[in-house]
Amino acid sequence: MDLFADQSVQTRIRTLTARLHHLNYQYYQNDVSEVSDQEFDQLLRELQELEKQYPEYAQPNSPTQRVGGTITKQFPTQAHRFPMLSLANTYSEADLREFDERVQRGLEGAEYQYVCELKFDGVAMSLRYEHGQLTQGVTRGDGTRGDVVTSNVRTIKTLPLHLREDAEQAAPADFEVRGEVFMPLSVFNDLNAEREQNGEALLANPRNAASGTLKLQDSAQVAARRLRFYAYSFLSTGRHFPTHSAALRALKQWGLPVSDTWRLCGSIDEVLSYIHEWDKKRFELPVATDGIVIKVDDLRQQELLGFTAKSPRWAIAYKYPAEAGRTRLRDIIYQVGRTGAVTPVALLDPVPLAGTVVKRASVHNANQIAALDLRIGDLVFVEKGGEIIPKITGVDLPSRPADAVPVVYPTACPACGTALVRPEGEAHFRCPNERGCAPQLKSKLEHYVSRKALNIDGLGAETVGRFFDLGLVRDAADLYELPQRREELVNLDRLGEKSVQRMYAGLEQSKEVPFDRVLFGLGIRYVGETVAEKLAAHYRSIAPMLAASVEELAAVPEVGGVIAESVAAWAQDEANRQLVERLKAAGVQMQLTGEAPQPLSDRLNGLTFVLSGVFEQHSREELEQVIVRNGGKVTGSISKKLSYLVAGDKMGPAKREKATSLNVPIIGETDLLAMVSDGGL
């Protein structure tokens, strides 16, 4: 055995696992696409192949064990009656022919047809109709549970609230429609133009815009975003149609929007012809698309082919490769973010890509600059997949000019001149001058007033940035002292009395924003919305959280060691403590209002639990409350000190194996509820 090779494989598996978890979190929790779909799929396939060859090195929490992502907790969640599984996907026509061969074998030579549909780039949605009325809209979530966003989907004007009754075939009394909620490109462009005018951060792509819109609390704001919906499948108990194509026709007759671009194909060659046809035509559509979905049409044949653990065997998604171009690299500039990360941005000669003119591209970090051997003056290849931010993928080395200048990464902050540092294990260089670096201070202010944090009306990113440049504010607490500078503010260009009044009203309203969103707004590194909710629920107010040790913080569900160290370091900084006191004095919520949930019993005193999998009767959050309110504790990791592992459906085998090896008892949901009997929910 080659020990060094094995260590290299083990390291690569760990690196891929961590990277994919991060990308999943950014995509599903923060609506951020850091890489194209193609790059994500390549990373996932590499991990799958390595785990297949070296199963002993597979991580217990490997992303290959998952079908989807986590659920945003801003809305009630509900289990799907029919799971929303992912589709297997490919960028290769050869893979499509292999898929066709598998279908042939599975159907034992029987004749079959495919339905080809454009894959619209939006948010998967499940709609329920009862007796002809739209009664519920639930997002995909993690595939088994999703967010209930009924009031928001009702604002989609093309979606019928009541089905037509003059169709050839009447709609069943109770059924679900699966489809895609999307934002038309024209609406997306208008929205970004408005955000730019207001000084707000631009949205990366229509998919993220649609996802963020569905999570808005005010359905009137959702209606203003003019979302649209295309149906692509019908689900119900019993059999109502012989084929998928018949179901699509019926959905349209009932008044549901179905794209007219779908086609019935009699062979894989016809499928490929359809793919080639839409490779160019898709850019003429008013909506973003990123591929083609191919399904066996006959529903009995679908049943015969069945499912794998993650996806149906009777369907596959073909994704178009990211569009690429070739242009000249003119310069690289460096931007400093809220946490001090220094990010290089390439300035390019304009190049048309995916319907837009690209002048800038991401280079990610110093590692990529070195790996690509980038030089100013190079001809570079630029890729734009899924309408995300363009990135440089390579250099046309044979065309490199003799006077091309190697890129030298700065050693000092481009904004304040402070020597950059590179923490061990991180890709980015960082500016440690968080108290004196202007871009960091300005970004922290912008984060504090952003929609997901304090959401202060009248104080957009442009306005707080302007106030910072004028020396009116340096931190969030300074915002609440602005009312003392009324005369100075009303005389500023483009502000005036009405704008100042609106801003003051927004500042007053921000004092009612719940503690968890204030905690998120403080901008503590690694503390996103979900972690802020968990910390707020656990500590109830800021004081005990600031006093907590790393070990105590790490014991909070979904926090863990890295986040705990970051929170503890932030809390130990005297300047941060002073900021908290000033915000508290201004009237900002630094504790949860209302009574804390009262303990129900002490039946679980001294016991620690891990919850894993999907549960039938209650959500994981509800079961956490059962444990905590009956005296127990919930943690995220399995150790010898653990009292019980509570196992639900789809729990990974690695957790079960680890619990068994440590002699940790494994119980089910009903066992847990029996332990608290009348002290449950």
Residue 490's pLDDT is 83
Q: What burial letters (b/e) apply to 168-203, b meaning 16+ CB within 10 Å?
A: eeebeeebbbbbbbbbbbebbeebbeebeeeebeeb
Is 180 labelled a binding residue? yes
Amino acid at site 43? L
Is 38 labelled a binding residue? yes
Is 39 labelled a binding residue? yes
347 touches 330 (CB < 8 A): yes
420 touches 389 (CB < 8 A): no
Is 265 labelled a binding residue? no
Cβ count near 403 (within 10 Å): 8
Is 116 labelled a binding residue? no
Residue 311's pLDDT is 84
Residue 354's pLDDT is 67
| Cβ-proximal residues to 3 (8 Å cutoff; 6+ apart), any chain | none
Is 176 labelled a binding residue? no
pTM exceeds cut of 0.75: no
**Series of mean pLDDT values for 10-residue runs along the chain (681 residues):** 60 84 61 73 84 77 50 69 88 94 93 97 94 92 86 87 84 95 90 67 78 81 88 91 96 93 97 94 87 96 86 93 88 91 92 78 87 94 72 91 93 96 85 94 93 88 90 95 88 81 92 94 89 89 94 83 92 96 96 74 88 81 84 82 87 83 91 76 44
Q: Which one, of 573, 578, 458, 567, lies nearest residue 519 by Cα?
A: 567
**What is the signed CA dihedral for 572, 573, 575, 579, rounded to 10 degrees?**
-50
Q: The tokens of 561 are what?
A: 């060691």
Residue 67's pLDDT is 37
Is 73 labelled a binding residue? no
Q: Which is the catalytic residue, given 119, 384, 655, 658?
A: 119
Question: What is the distance between the alpha carbons of residues 565 and 581, in angstroms, rounded to a whole number?
Answer: 22
Instruction: Give the up-direction half-sphere exposure of residue 206: CA atoms within 13 A in the CB hemisphere.
Output: 26
Q: Which domains does the chain have, with CATH numbers?
A: 3-65 (1.10.287.610), 77-319 (3.30.470.30), 323-406 (2.40.50.140), 438-586 (1.10.150.20), 608-679 (3.40.50.10190)
Question: What is the distance between the alpha carbons of residues 112 and 101, in angstroms, rounded to a whole number?
Answer: 12
Residue 69's pLDDT is 36
Through-space distance between the first and last CA atoms of the chain, rounded to whole angstroms: 54
Question: What is the distance between the alpha carbons of residues 463 and 455, in angstroms, rounded to a whole number?
Answer: 13
Instruction: Give the up-direction half-sphere exposure of residue 519: CA atoms within 13 A in the CB hemisphere.
Output: 28
Is 200 labelled a binding residue? no
Q: Is the dihedral of CA 323, 327, 329, 330 positive or negative?
A: negative
Q: What share of the chain is helix, strand, coil (3-state, %, to 5)?
A: 40, 20, 40
Q: Is 310 designated active site?
A: no
Residue 232, φ and ψ in degrees, nearest 5: -135, 0
Give me Rg for the CA atoms of the chain.
27
Q: Strand locations in 52-93, DSSP E?
A: 77-79, 89-90
Residue 105's pLDDT is 93
Q: The tokens of 371 are what?
A: 């790996």
Residue 550's pLDDT is 92
Is 252 labelled a binding residue? no
Helix axes 93-106, 268-281, angle to 10 degrees: 150
Is 305 labelled a binding residue? no
644-647/666-667 β-pairing: parallel
Is 140 labelled a binding residue? yes
Q: What is the DSSP letter of 61?
A: T
For tokens 């960028």, the residue is 91
Q: Which one, of 553, 555, 593, lies nearest residue 571 by Cα?
A: 553
Question: What is the distance between the alpha carbons of residues 346 and 332, in angstroms, rounded to a whole number?
Answer: 5
33 touches 208 (CB < 8 A): yes
Q: What burial letters (b/e) apply to 446-457, b meaning 16+ CB within 10 Å?
A: bbbbbebbbbbb
Is 413 labelled a binding residue? yes
Residue 114's pLDDT is 98
Strand partners, 430: 341, 421
Return the SS3 of 580: helix
Q: Which one, of 467, 396, 411, lies nearest residue 438 by Cα?
A: 467
Residue 303, φ and ψ in degrees, nearest 5: -60, -40
Q: The tokens of 251 are what?
A: 């959905």
Largest CA distance in the chain: 83
Amino acid at site 394? G
For tokens 């190049």, the residue is 351
Residue 196's pLDDT is 61
| DSSP per-residue letters across 249-265 | HHHHHTT----TT-EEE
Instruction: Give the up-direction half-sphere exposure of residue 162: CA atoms within 13 A in the CB hemisphere.
Output: 2
